Structure 1
Amino acid sequence: MSGGLAVVQRATTVSKPQLTVDLGAVARNTRTLAAHASGELMAVVKADGFGHGATEVARTALAHGATRLGVTSLAEAFALRDAGLVVPVLSWLNPVDADFPAAAVRDVDVAVPSLAHLAAVAAAPGRQKVHLHVDAGMARDGAEPTEWAALCRAARRAEQRGEVEVVGVMGHLGCADDPADACNACGRTRFAWSVEVARAAGLRPRDRHLAATAATLTDPRTHHTMSRVGAGLVGIDPSRTTALEPAMTLTAPLVQVRRVRAGTPVGYGHDHRTTHATHLGLLPLGYADGLPRVASGRAEVLVRGVRRPLVGRISMDQVVVDLGADGAQPGDTVTVFGPGRDGEPTVAEWAAWAGTIEHEVVTGIGARVPRLVRPATYLRRLA
């Protein structure tokens, strides 16, 4: 140190943070999920394909075992149609005043969770394909059991009038991430009951789907004619039973490196003070880019093949890494998270540091982080 002051090195050429999406991993995950599923596989690409790119994930999944696509909103469904995807698409979370006429014109199936939704869909021009949605035990989306029979009878009358075509019955399990949880048996029973009630009302739904990723991997009794998988496509298994491949890697360059003495305070609030002389590096990423602020003081990154701790609070746009005695150079690429093959932290670790789930981490990466998509072309060559 010179005159007791830190020496700050700045990168002369600074690259940007980068989010890399490996579609090869999506392809391999899709094949694994398709091998587990008893029926068709619906690739769920809501929330921009769990942050990985809806269109890219959709195309890859369809090329490797999926036969349909699922999203929440109609806007997401229309975006898939705009991208030229012509396979069946289901949208299952819409307000009563959603653009159901456009859904019919663009051949997008919609879920119907209530009598009010059914009335809105039936009033739209054309004959809309619908999936009646039952609450299988979450008190969330879907029709309550006390309303289910009335919904099925009303749907049958609308079908007879030529206003709708009931092509499916769907539900969702609340505890499938724990295959031993008793609520899964309750959900299976309620779903089986809902199908029988629909049939008793004169409906003949050819699509029956209850399982998402965890149940697809652990419980064939939930598969019925189709499974809906989203998180599993990008390498997340909520049940922790199957080795799927994470498809996302986040890197960032060191933009500054400085030497500091013991006792140096770092970041807002001075939550961290160095315990010894060390090097501190600055990364141009923060909570505005999706790094969970609550992971401050716990998270690590990979620098030159070595895990290094993030120190101080994660700020909106930047975070500090303790590089140790050896230090590093401005411009060096730091791996924030990735598949873990080279020792870097994984999304699962970041989720644990933040006290959340992997889904929140991967969907939270901000739009200002540039994306690089690696295609799965080599898999097509091998097929």
Structure 2
Amino acid sequence: MMNNDNYATWLEIDLNAITHNYQQLRKISGVPVMGVVKANAYGHGLEEIARHLETIGASWLGVARIEEALQLRESGVKLPILVLGYTSHKRVKDAQKANIHLTVYDPLVAELYEKEVDAEYGKLHLHAKIDTGMGRLGVPSNQALPFIENLTRVPAFDLEGTFTHFACADEPEKEVTAQQIRRFENIVGKMKEKGINPGIMHAANSAGTLNFPQAHYNMVRCGIAIYGLPPAANMSLPQGFKPALSWKTRLISIKSMSEGFGISYGHRYHTKEGERIGAIAVGYGDGMRRVNGNHVLLRGKKVPVVGSVCMDQCLINIDEVPDAQVGDEVALIGMQNGNALSATDLAQDWNTINYEVICGMAARMPRRYIR
């Protein structure tokens, strides 16, 4: 087990929280849950989280890129894996060899894939993506039926699923998601009329899973909620969900400063007489954002980051923590002495979303997995 005393800054990931959150989503949806582990499992660690989800009974894994899927295969993960985004046609054989499912979202992509399929490795497993209102990847809904009909005529293709993606599921008061659901169900209905099996139908992300039960279909795709974070600042997760990730560092220096002393790059902050400044061993090289308004927890008290954030360190005002000592643990995300800072709190400081906060966790930070 990792000894935290050995590290300057590190992440702690509670696998029990992930188990609990996954089970909650399974109960809420009543259908299989695809665990979305793209972007290094939202910063939590791709291989470790994927293996854990496999252990606790996840049905599918979702990634953004084939490189992530191949990494999981190389690490021994056996679950079905869907690449939710773009895959070059030059990687089709790699997908076949590793039994990886690809997304097909455009007639040109389908044409290129067909040319690259190698019969030696069987059919290419595909999920057709329909753009019902996101405007990103996906065949436009008014062109979806002939597109899918053409897919089913290709002997080398195995159409295993049909899906779409919601643009505004975290804002249920908007009509957009209801429109997307109607478009998706209309296309699927026409497919069935033509005798085409849509396979696994999936549309709901974490927000869709929580806000639109009518869109659970055969499977839901959950990422952020599995990690115990709300899909949007205006949303709360149901009671019982638990954040899995804590981000910690250490107080490595304490100084009592003179009046008007400029600190850190650019001298953007000047101290008061006797102001106590602590250095902590975390910076933008770890994922900290170089903005004004950062805060951390020291001995359970919320204290401000002052001066410019550096690559490997930053400075904090510790006047409100007179008993602070070098070596004290500092929390950027997590619980300390009954007080908490969340990734959503940090996102507010950074004027961004919690997804960006956790996906930006640098690979150089050790990750400790708690079971």
Alignment match, 1:33: 25
The structure whose RCO (Cα within 8 Å, separation 6+) is larger is 1
CA contact (8 A) 1:137 1:174 kept: yes
Alignment match, 1:120: 112
User: Cα distance, 1:104 vs. partner?
Assistant: 1.6
Alignment match, 2:368: 372
* Unaligned residue ranges in structure 1 (runs of 5+): 1-12, 376-383
Local SS of the residue matching 1:233: coil
Alignment match, 1:352: 348
Shift of the 117–14 alpha-carbon distance from structure 1 to 2, 3 Å rule, reads closer
d(CA) in 1 for partners of 2:132 and 2:85? 16
Local SS of the residue matching 1:134: strand
CA contact (8 A) 2:308 2:314 kept: yes
d(CA) in 2 for partners of 1:360 and 1:113? 26
Mapping 1:1-383, distance limit 5 Å: 15-123=7-115, 124-125=117-118, 126-158=122-154, 162-238=155-231, 239-243=235-239, 244-275=241-272, 277-294=274-291, 296=292, 298-324=293-319, 326=322, 328-338=324-334, 342-375=338-371
d(CA) in 1 for partners of 2:7 and 2:141? 55
CA RMSD of aligned residues (A): 1.9
d(CA) in 2 for partners of 1:201 and 1:258? 75
User: Cα distance, 1:339 vs. partner?
Assistant: 5.0
Q: Deviations over 1:55-87 (max 9, x none)?
A: 221232233352111111111111111122212
Runs of 4+ in 1 over 4 A off after TM superposition: none
Amino acid at match of 2:261: T
Alignment match, 1:7: none
User: Cα distance, 1:340 vs. partner?
Assistant: 6.8
Amino acid at match of 1:329: Q
User: Cα distance, 1:352 vs. partner?
Assistant: 0.6
Shift of the 15–100 alpha-carbon distance from structure 1 to 2, 3 Å rule, reads closer
Amino acid at match of 2:77: L
d(CA) in 1 for partners of 2:163 and 2:105? 10
d(CA) in 2 for partners of 1:374 and 1:225? 32
Amino acid at match of 2:97: V
CA contact (8 A) 1:18 1:369 kept: yes
Shift of the 110–95 alpha-carbon distance from structure 1 to 2, 3 Å rule, reads closer
Local SS of the residue matching 1:231: coil
CA contact (8 A) 2:168 2:177 kept: yes
Q: Deviations over 1:252-282 (max 9, x none)?
A: 1112110013433332233222345321011
Local SS of the residue matching 2:304: strand
CA contact (8 A) 2:297 2:336 kept: no
User: Cα distance, 1:302 vs. partner?
Assistant: 1.1
User: Cα distance, 1:204 vs. partner?
Assistant: 0.4
Amino acid at match of 1:342: G
CA contact (8 A) 2:54 2:77 kept: no
Alignment match, 1:4: none
CA contact (8 A) 1:253 1:333 kept: yes
User: Cα distance, 1:102 vs. partner?
Assistant: 1.8
d(CA) in 2 for partners of 1:53 and 1:18? 12
Count of paired positions: 358
Give percent identity, aligned residues only: 29
Shift of the 129–35 alpha-carbon distance from structure 1 to 2, 3 Å rule, reads same
Amino acid at match of 2:182: T
d(CA) in 2 for partners of 1:193 and 1:308? 54
